């Protein structure tokens, strides 16, 4: 039944059964039913970039996972011909556009419910800011890959727009979507480890060391190009993930940083043109504690080894992305234990009663592994709730407990800029 047919039926039923009510009640009933129809339809998602690559496939699986979101439109490349060709060859029907400007113009001409409800930006770093700015100005929520932008000024502009329009904005820090990451956050921020003394957050990869010997590596890897990648390759790409884990789990901020950015593979004659493949930042935290944010892409033997250890006065915890179904906890004076993702996790002599909301975030029983795609889906699922609230004029600015916000993206860019400044000055301490 089309919406118009449903509304006609409602009017008939009101005239038959509700004629004794006040005349304006018909409008109330119609408004309620229309909102119900709107809230039950799948959200339409538009893609910017992503004509190929693993991240596109990950996002698509996450978008479709719940049956409440779908990809409906896309501008898949900065090359208009490639964009249209990629859309025509997409594995399912979508509306293809030659550019994101055209997509924005044409989608806004569609009726609400037919146009895109939010846009996913998955371009290289230099192409995050312009589409994010334009879609925010048009009132369309934005889900953006990290790092947020190329520089602090661009990030600050996006923050201002989000605040001005009170509109949902998510930065795709995937690993916040792991259930065990959220459990770790609850444990630390509930104070069960006591005051935090030390945090070691790291992300080790080997891909650059493994691929560097290929003849065309330099010319085909955009992350080595400052104009596209920004002032930091390794720090901006995966160091921001390590930073976000530290900030999300502990609730602490980096106040000062002393950093070394190193290039073990020097591709350019001018050293200033080389971007880091190894990133180390010693940090002073907002509570007086200390921390280390490390990232490398030359560590042979590592795959996507994101991990964090938090040491407090009353205990420690350890979490690793490649073993994301479990969380190691070591309470002071008590046996260490491993908590697995579980919707029926029972309290013990350390773990107090957990919020029902956290337990209900499990999607499948323990022993059936969640993973990378499920973490992405948890972010899209949380973002969907805010988008629907925004469309119903009921959105309240998110507190950052469900996904990384535009302010988190700004914090990441500020951290990278200050780390680069420190590194250029012999690892001197720099205030954030």
Contact indicator for 169, 157 with CB cutoff of 8 Å = no
Arithmetic mean of pLDDT, 363-372 = 91
Distance CA 366, CA 344 (A): 9
pLDDT in tens, 163-188: 999 999 999 999 999 999 999 999 99
pLDDT exceeds cutoff 50 at 18: no
pLDDT, position 39 = 63
Q: Which residue has the tokens 């001409």?
A: 109
Collapsing DSSP to helix, strand or coil, 100 comes out as: helix
Residue 330: count of CB within 10 angstroms of its CB: 16
Average pLDDT for residues 94-103, to the nearest whole number?
98
pLDDT at 7: 36
Q: Give the whole-number percent of the chain exceeding pLDDT 70.
A: 90
The pLDDT confidence band at residue 222, using thresholds 50, 70 and 90, is confident
Q: Cα separation of 64 and 66, whole Å?
A: 6
Q: What percent of the chain has pLDDT over 90?
A: 80
What whole-number distance in Å separates Cα of residue 279 and Cα of residue 260? 6
End-to-end CA distance of the chain: 57
Task: Give the pLDDT score at 291.
Answer: 98
Residues in the chain: 432
Convert the pLDDT of each residue in 149-161 to its tens digit: 999 999 999 999 9
Q: What mean pLDDT do residues 104-132 have?
A: 97
Q: Model confidence at 102, in pLDDT bands (50, 70, 90)?
A: very high
Q: Which pLDDT belongs to residue 91?
A: 94
Q: What is the DSSP letter of 110?
A: S
| Residue 175 contacts residue 306 (beta carbons within 8 Å) | yes
- State if pTM tops 0.75: yes
Output the pLDDT for position 6.
37
The pLDDT-based confidence of 53 (bands split at 50, 70, 90) is confident
Q: Which 3-state string (H, E, C) describes 243-288?
A: HHHHHHHHCCCEEEEEEEEECCCCCCCCHHHCCCCEEEEEEEECCC
Range with lowest mean pLDDT among 27-36, 396-405, 419-428 = 27-36
Question: Does residue 226 have a pLDDT over 90?
Answer: no
How high is the pLDDT of residue 221? 74
The confidence score (pLDDT) of residue 28 equals 36
The reply to whether omega before 147 is within 30° of 0 (cis) is yes
Q: Is 339 left (phi over 0), alpha (psi -120 to 50) or beta?
A: beta
Look at residue 17 in the predicted model and tell me its pLDDT.
Answer: 40
CB neighbourhood size of 414 (10 A): 16
Beta partners for residue 316, in sequence order: 311, 330
Q: Which residues of 134-154 are buried (b: 16+ CB within 10 A; e: fewer)?
A: bbbeeebbbbbbbbbbbeeeb
Of the candidates 74, 93, 54, which has an alpha carbon nearest to the alpha carbon of residue 62? 54
Domains and CATH numbers, the chain: 3-174 (3.40.50.720), 176-368+405-431 (3.30.360.10)
Over the stretch 397-411, which tens digit does the pLDDT of each residue have?
999 999 999 999 999
CA–CA–CA angle 374, 321, 189 (5° rounding): 90
pLDDT at site 390: 98
Average pLDDT over residues 310-315: 98
Taking the CA atoms of residue 115, residue 120, residue 123 and residue 126 in that order, the dihedral angle to the nearest 10 degrees is 100
At 31 the pLDDT is 38
**Comparing 9-13, 244-248, 353-357, which segment has the lowest mean pLDDT?**
9-13
């Amino acid at each position: 039944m089309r919406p118009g047919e449903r509304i006609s039926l409602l009017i008939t039923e009101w005239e038959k059964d509700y004629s004794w009510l006040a005349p304006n009640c018909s409008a109330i009933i119609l408004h309620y039913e229309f909102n119900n129809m709107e809230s039950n339809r799948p959200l339409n998602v538009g893609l910017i970039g992503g004509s190929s690559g693993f991240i596109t496939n990950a996002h698509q699986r996450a978008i479709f996972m719940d049956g409440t979101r779908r990809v409906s439109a896309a501008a898949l490349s900065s090359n208009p011909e490639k964009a249209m060709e990629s859309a025509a060859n997409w594995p399912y029907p979508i509306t293809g556009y030659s550019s994101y400007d055209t997509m924005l113009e044409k989608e806004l001409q569609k009726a609400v419910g037919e146009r895109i409800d939010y846009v996913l930006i998955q371009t290289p770093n230099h192409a995050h800011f312009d589409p994010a700015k334009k879609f925010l100005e048009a009132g369309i929520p934005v889900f953006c890959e990290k790092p947020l932008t190329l520089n602090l000024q661009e990030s600050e502009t996006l923050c201002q727009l989000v605040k001005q329009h009170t509109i949902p904005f998510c930065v795709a820090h995937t690993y916040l979507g792991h259930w065990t990451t959220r459990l770790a956050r609850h444990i630390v921020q509930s104070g069960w480890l006591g005051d935090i003394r030390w945090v070691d957050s790291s992300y080790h990869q080997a891909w650059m060391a493994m691929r560097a010997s290929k003849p065309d590596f330099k010319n085909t890897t955009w992350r080595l190009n400052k104009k596209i990648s920004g002032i930091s390759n390794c720090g901006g790409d995966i160091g921001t993930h390590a930073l976000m884990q530290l900030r999300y789990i502990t609730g602490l901020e980096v106040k000062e940083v002393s950093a070394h950015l190193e290039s073990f593979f020097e591709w350019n004659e001018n050293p200033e043109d080389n971007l880091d493949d190894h990133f180390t930042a010693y940090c002073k935290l907002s509570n007086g504690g200390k921390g280390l944010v490390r990232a490398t892409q030359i560590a042979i033997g590592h795959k996507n080894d994101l991990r964090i250890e938090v040491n407090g006065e009353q205990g420690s915890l350890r979490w690793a992305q490649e073993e994301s179904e479990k969380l190691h906890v070591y309470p002071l004076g008590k046996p260490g234990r491993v908590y697995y993702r579980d919707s029926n996790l029972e309290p013990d002599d350390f773990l107090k009663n957990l919020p029902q909301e956290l337990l209900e975030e499990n999607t499948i029983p323990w022993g059936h592994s969640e993973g990378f795609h499920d973490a992405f889906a948890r972010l899209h699922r949380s973002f969907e709730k805010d988008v629907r609230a925004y469309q119903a004029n009921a959105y309240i600015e998110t507190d950052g407990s469900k996904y990384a916000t535009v302010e988190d993206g700004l914090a990441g860019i500020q951290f990278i800029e200050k780390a680069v400044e420190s590194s250029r000055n012999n690892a001197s301490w720099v205030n954030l």
